[in-house]
């Protein structure tokens, strides 16, 4: 399957990161948020769009855009690259179709074990019956 690179369609927004870091955190907007509008994408077909909308519903905001944030790096460029990597990985992982499950066959030993357990259970239930003298 060919991989889809959605980098050209991602819009970025920066903000100040939270947490430790002192003066650098307080004055530099290093946190990056990446938005990808699934419905307006030209790179995806309708089937792929529906699949993404259903599987990634908890990561899609009210405007219908996929949101990925990063504030791990100290630089805006580093966080931007992380957002791109995360977004492409998330979309790639979501679009992979799982292989169909092939049902296994029970072994001879498991069949015999099941039948033995059924016989034991029936004997227990038989022993619970009232004794009738006809």
| pLDDT at 38 exceeding the cut of 70 | yes
Query: HEC profile for the chain?
Result: CCCCCCHHHEEEEEECCCCCCCHHHHHCCCEEEEEEECCCCCCCCHHHHHHHHHHCHHHECCCCEEEEEECCCCCHHHHHHHHHHHHHHHHHHHHCCCCCCCCCCCCHHHHHHHHHHHHHHHHHHHHHCCCCCC
Write the pLDDT tens digit of every residue in 7-23.
898 999 988 877 666 67
Q: Per-residue pLDDT averaged across 42-66, rounded?
A: 90
Cβ proximity of 36 and 10 under 8 Å? yes
Write the pLDDT tens digit of every residue in 95-118.
888 899 999 999 999 999 999 999
pTM strictly above 0.85 = no
What residues contact 32, with CB distance under 8 A and at least 6 apart? 12, 13, 14, 69, 70, 71, 76, 79, 80, 82, 83
Q: Per-residue pLDDT averaged across 75-95, rounded?
A: 92
Q: Per-residue pLDDT averaged across 75-84, rounded?
A: 93
With a pLDDT cut of 90, the percent of the chain lying above it is 49
Closest CA to 90 of 125, 38, 24, 26: 38
Given this model, what pLDDT does residue 19 score?
67
Given this model, what pLDDT does residue 18 score?
73
């Amino acid at each position: 399957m060919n991989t889809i690179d959605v980098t050209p369609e991602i819009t970025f927004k920066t903000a100040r990161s939270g947490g430790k870091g002192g003066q650098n955190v307080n004055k530099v907007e290093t946190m990056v948020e990446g938005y990808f509008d699934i419905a307006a994408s030209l790179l995806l077909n309708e089937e792929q769009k529906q699949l993404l909308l259903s599987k990634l519903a908890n990561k899609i905001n009210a405007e219908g855009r996929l949101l990925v944030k990063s504030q791990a790096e100290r630089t805006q460029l580093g966080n931007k690259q992380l957002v791109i990597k995360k977004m492409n990985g998330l979309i790639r992982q979501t679009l992979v179709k799982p292989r169909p499950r092939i049902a296994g066959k029970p072994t001879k030993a498991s069949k015999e074990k099941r039948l033995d357990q059924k016989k034991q259970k029936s004997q227990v239930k038989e022993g619970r019956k009232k004794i009738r003298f006809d």
